[in-house]
Structure 1
Amino acid sequence: MPPDIVVAEAMSWLGTPYRHQASRKGVGCDCLGLVRGVWRALYGREPEATPPYSKDWVETSGGEPLFEAARRHFIPCEDGKLEQARLILFRWRPHLPAKHAGIMVEGAAFIHAYEGQGVLVSPLVPQWRRKIAGVFAFPASRG
């Protein structure tokens, strides 16, 4: 998928309020909902159903569900380059599973849905860079 199309769609979500488990542009979304909504706009249907999840889902579920889902549907970027339109996953702590997602935009920044703030663009400062768990590219087409 061309990076400018991915970024344009992601940026069209700016200002969407934060809503846990939601994924509707202008209505509400969380970080996963932002990625799901961008996916739907680019490819149509989502590749798999997202089960309900609590705010502490990663602490109680075990495993790496977000990382594993990204590996199933996106292209892992082993080089780790933080290029425009790449999906980035974050771990809050090194020993915890990935729990947050964003999409790289221009200028070493990423767009994400952040609790209490909604969808916004944040600079990828060192505090965020240290938390990166994985980098993925959107596929050219839905496979």
Structure 2
Amino acid sequence: MVPQEQLKSERVRVLLVEDEWFIRFDLAEQLRGAGFEVVEASTADDAMEYISSGERIDALITDIRMPGTLDGLELAERVHDMQPMLLILVASGSIELESAASRVGRFIRKPYDPKQIATLIAEMLGPAL
């Protein structure tokens, strides 16, 4: 059993899945600056491997269109099935994907401001922080 003090001191862990390096780097830095622990993946396949390893995540941010066998929407759907209460943000520049993404999480339209994403996560997780 983990002591309650240790549980409270753990930072919120965000899994960030984005194939475009600069976007991933910028958002990861903003999230870290806001006090989050960030795990980065460049494909949905890599993210699914990380999740399948049993590592804890408190939030998922994923782009939809990425190379690999899974896209970000498929990743979000699988993660939502496994952890329906997990905070999931699904990003895309294609507004036509909003309704599909909204079934499993909150849709974020690209381009977005990384500072706003950090604020949004903090607001959505509220007292969990």
TM-score interval (norm. to shorter):
0.3 to 0.5
Q: Which has the higher strand share?
A: 1
Q: Which has the higher helix share?
A: 2
What is the TM-score with the length of structure 2 in the denominator?
Answer: 0.33
Question: Which structure carries more relative contact order (alpha carbon 8 Å, separation 6+)?
Answer: 1
What is the TM-score with the length of structure 1 in the denominator?
Answer: 0.31
